[in-house]
Structures are given as C-alpha cells and as structure tokens.
Chain A
Amino acid sequence: MTQFKAFIKKEFYHIMRDRKTLLVLIGMPIVQIILFGFALTNEVKNTVLCVADLAKDDMSQALVAEVNASKYFDVKYTIDNVEEADRMLRSGKARMVLVIPKGISYDLRHGHVATLQLITDGTNPNMATTINTYLTSIVRDFRTHHFGKLELPMTIVTIPRMLYNPQLKGEYTFVPGVIAMVLMIICVLMTSVSIVKEKELGNMEMLLVSPTHPLVVILSKAVPYFILSLLLVTIILLMSRFVLHIPIRGNIFLLYGVSGLFIIAALALGLVISTFTNSQQVAMLISLMGMMLPTIMFGGFMFPIENMPLPMQVISNIVPAKWFYYAINDIMIKGLGIEAVLREILILAGFAILFIFISLRKFNLRLA
C-alpha cells in the first residue's frame, strides 16, 4: 500500500510539474464551453425575413409586428406579390418569405382555417427546419393570444412542440458532448501516453525489476487521471450552470456515477492502447485518430446519429462516448432517473469490463 501511495504521489508530481499540459487540460473544456456557448451556437437569431403581406389589414400588420419583435426574426423586406419571393431567396437577401394571404382577418375571426405560406431557403436543411419551427410557434402564440385556445375541429393544425428545450437552445446538447470529449482526451490520451513514456525513457525497466507488482505501476497511473477527470466534469458542470445558465435537471449523484463509469471505461481503453505500443507518438496518434475522431463523429453531439445512413448508425454503437452522451443528456437535460438510463449504464459497464479484460490479458510482466 505504501508503494501504491508512492506511485500516486509521483504521478501527481508529474502532472503538476508539467504546467503547460495541465493548463491545456483545464483550459480546454473552459474554452470549449465558452466557444460553444456563445459563438458556435446552433441557435438561429435575427434571420432576415421578407414579408409578402397581401392582406394589408390590421390583423396582418399585428402579426408582422409580432414576428419582427421576436429575437429570431428581422423583417427587412416587404414585397407585394408572391412572384418576387423567389428573387428574394435566390439573391440571398432573405432566408424566408412569409406570405399572408388576403382575407386572413376574416378567416380567423370566423373560425375558418387560415393558411399562411412559408417559403424557406432550404440550402441548409437544419436551419430551415429550425426557423420554420420558430415562425410556426410565433404564429401559434399570436393566434392563442388573440383568439384563445382554438378547439374547433376545422382549425386544428398540428404544430411540432419542442420538448425539454422549448427554445431549441443549442447549448444544451453540447455540454454533455464537451464532457465526453474532455474525458476521452484525459483518460485515453493522457493515460496511454504517460505509461508509454515510462517505457520509452527506460523507467519501466527499473520498475519492473523491483518488488512492486507491475499491475500496481499501471493502476497507479489511473488514479490521478480519475481524480483529474472528475474535477474537470465539475468545472464543466459549474460553467454550464452559472455561465450559460443551463439547469441540471437530473440527480447529480447519478450524473457523477455515470461519469465515473465512463471514466473507468476510458482509462481501461488507455491502458489497452499502452500495452500495444512502445512509442509516445504512436500512442498519441492512436488516441487522437482512433478514439477522438469516432467520439466526435459518432458521439451524437455533433452530428445527429438518426440522420446517418444505417451502416454508420450500426458503427456508432461501438463508440462508448455515444452511450455516455445519451445517458448524460437524459439525466442532465431531461432530468430522467436511473430507470431511463439503465441500458446505457449496462452498456458502459460492459465496455469497461471488456477493456479491463483486454488490458489484463495483454499486460506483460516482462519487457517483451
């Protein structure tokens, strides 16, 4: 036990003395949170809107005013005939044209179905869907405001309702994503590189020829990075709660529990990599290209997996980060309990056991 402590102490010295790496490790999630939160948000603001107000009555003007008042839209152009809409979109002046037909006031007041036409620039389908939804929800609010809940059958119009994240805030989905990415980097990359470094510098030779069991050498590498990982999870959660004002809905202990499980799986993966190579460079390449890329591609937080072709969807199942992301999303954003993430927990535990098994099998008591 004293040996184990000595190892962990030494490991912390290594981490604390390599100031630059430590700074990058702590700085990276902070910068990512800020970047995603403020700059790279998926949310659409101030979309330029063109209105073809064919009705030109008090009701239509009130609607246009309401749309313009929202932070999502900026009514910059008005046209008088629908033919011009195409020109507005084609030239890129406007992203969306709202056509208000004649007689809209009459239709609404008399309980008829009123039809608005939305012509949207579909070159960026994601964005098109988003702004369509925004506008639709503004129109719905407008109607509710002026006429109360409509219960007449002929006026029922299905409008998609965004659950859990009614404003479609982009920040929500990336926070679990950043956590997954940071943990992959620290646990897989740092662990494998630091073990391989011992081999490369020849320290491993001396450690092996000591009474310490070689497993102690390896396990002691995992402890400091486990602690560092939990610290960074905490930093990210605090940042998202207090800087981005994203509430943590679910149980905090469950959140940490799942994170801990993922960290163990990732550390074990780092150990597996370290048993396969003797060079820091190779370890770094495998960790970055082999692990980080799939995490970003198939983690689910950058590119929605549902939109991928089937083979890619199948592949995504072997990426631990995907399951972690699902679980954290369920807990943190949806506020669900352990029953909802049981499947993810079991899968992550499976990964952890598998990686630990492989690394133990591959682990060498000797040099070669």
Chain B
Amino acid sequence: MMTHKFSIVTDKLTKRFGDFTAVDAISFKVEEGEIFGFLGANGAGKTTAMRMLTGLSLPSSGKAVVAGYDVGTDTEQVKKSIGYMSQKFSLYQDLTVGENIEFYGGIYGLHGRQLRGEADAMLMRLNLTDERRTLVNALPLGWKQKLAFSIAIIHKPKIVFLDEPTGGVDPVTRRQFWTMIYEAAESGLTIFVTTHYMDEAEYCNRIAIMVDARIEAMGQPAALKKQFDTHSMDDVFYRLARKAARTEM
C-alpha cells in the first residue's frame, strides 16, 4: 500500500462503546490535496470517526493511518501533522486577533521570528493587519471563521479536519470560506470536512455518507447522483439516511 500518496487510509476502522458500535468497520482512502466531504445524519457516527482520525479517541479495532502515522500507536505524531477546526472550535473571544495567533502558534511550537513572520503573513493574507489589536469578540462571524481556519493551519499541517465549519454563516461568507478551502487544497493541503449543507457536499472532490455507523456511499458527487439517478445531492442523502434504523438514539 502506497501510503505516501494518501493522506488518510483507514482499514475496517471500528469503535465500540460497550455493546454499542458507533463506527462499524469503515474503510476509505483520501488522497493528498483532496477535498473529502464526510456526511451523515445526527448519530450516524461521524463525530466518533473524526475523533479517531484526529487521535482524540483510540479505535476498538481496525486501523487508520493519517499523514503516514498510525492513529492507534503514533497518536502524538498524528496530532502534530493535522490541523483541526470546528464550528465550536473557538478562538478566545477575550483575546485580540494577534494574541490568538500567538497562542495557537505557540501551541504548535512556533516561536520568535518564525511566529511573528507567520502571523504577519497571515494577517496580510486575511486583510486583518489593522485588526491585530482588535478583540476577536468584535469581529464579524465570517472573519472569525476565516481567522480560525488560518490558525488551524498555522503549523502547515498535511491535513486539516473541518467539523461543520460553516454552520449559521450567511451564504456570501460561506462562499468566501470555501474559496479559502479551494485555495488551500490547490497548495496541496488535504481537507477533510463535515457539513450539514448538501450544496457544500458538492464542492468536495469526493464524499462519503455514513448511515448507522457504516459508509453507505462514497464517490464523486456527480457519480453518486448518477448512481441514485437523481439531480440533487439532497435526494441522495435523504434516500440513504431515511433507511437508517437508529438516527434517533
């Protein structure tokens, strides 16, 4: 298996809590530089799967290799090679933009001139140089999210995990956010993203849909629509998720 070409490789990745199987032997590969969408109804096992891939939770059985490291054994290495951002992942609202960058940069081992250079470049890119001393609290939501994304990749990880990054944001800001994601993917960053918005699923190169702890469908959005003989991704998802026996636990 040529793991170097793939950012994520999972093989029968499973997580059990007692009698309950939250993730049931899922296997998939994500290529480098790919935007991979991870979809599923509430309770389908998305979050648990993501936790295993980010090294927050150990698999019960099966295997996952992220950025070349086994999540079961090289957890620390995995954590160093990935970035993570969620809707809830919050920048500290009572710190300034600059202080947030310094803090998170520091966590990932950046310091001194390197950290300053990285911070300056980021602020420039985001057009936030004038807001360096502004409290994050006072920024519009869209800016916060862009800043959060940039901070999540400040240590130049191979992969970034985005957990419903655009919830509740207006459509314009959502588009701007996706433009950033495209940009990052162009430069070779692998994007692993979960979302509730089906139109966003279409922005992904490939998507996987989880139903009842298993991956029920996987492929390019266009191919999936063809497979289910429909024009909307919504419909694909709806048909798959409706079969779920345990959406409501």
A contacts B directly (C-beta below 8 A): no
